[in-house]
């Protein structure tokens, strides 16, 4: 491949990475705001909340897939 092709690939990868990072930060901020709105959860609620947040941010998945289906499920269960 030519040098220009590698530059284009690098730019595309960087843009996708930045968009993903922005989405993760936005999701984290909204999740923390939701937790504050819920008030006092107790120990079990706090563990579920922070565990779901860590699961969403960390790169380890139960279902390795390119979409965030399992991450959304974990977050949804934590907010119940």
Residue 63 scores a pLDDT above 70: no
What is the 8-class DSSP label of residue 59?
S
Residue listed under structure tokens 């999740």: 31
Sequence-distant (≥ 6) Cβ neighbours of residue 53 within 8 angstroms: 28, 31, 32, 78
Q: Which pTM was predicted?
A: 0.50
Residue 80 scores a pLDDT above 80: no
Domain count of the chain? 1
Helices (H) then strands (E): counts for the chain:
3, 0
Residue 72 scores a pLDDT above 70: yes
Residue 12 scores a pLDDT above 90: yes
pLDDT digits (tens, 9 = 90+) for 39-51: 677 778 778 878 8
Range(s) of the domain holding residue 26: 3-78
């Amino acid at each position: 491949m030519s040098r220009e092709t590698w530059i284009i690939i690098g730019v595309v990868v960087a843009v996708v990475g930045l968009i993903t990072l922005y989405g993760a930060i936005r999701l984290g901020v909204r999740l923390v705001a939701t937790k504050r709105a819920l008030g006092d959860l107790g120990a079990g609620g706090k563990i579920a909340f922070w565990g779901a947040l860590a699961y969403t941010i960390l790169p380890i998945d139960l279902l390795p897939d390119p979409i965030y289906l399992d991450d959304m499920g974990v977050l949804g269960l934590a907010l119940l």
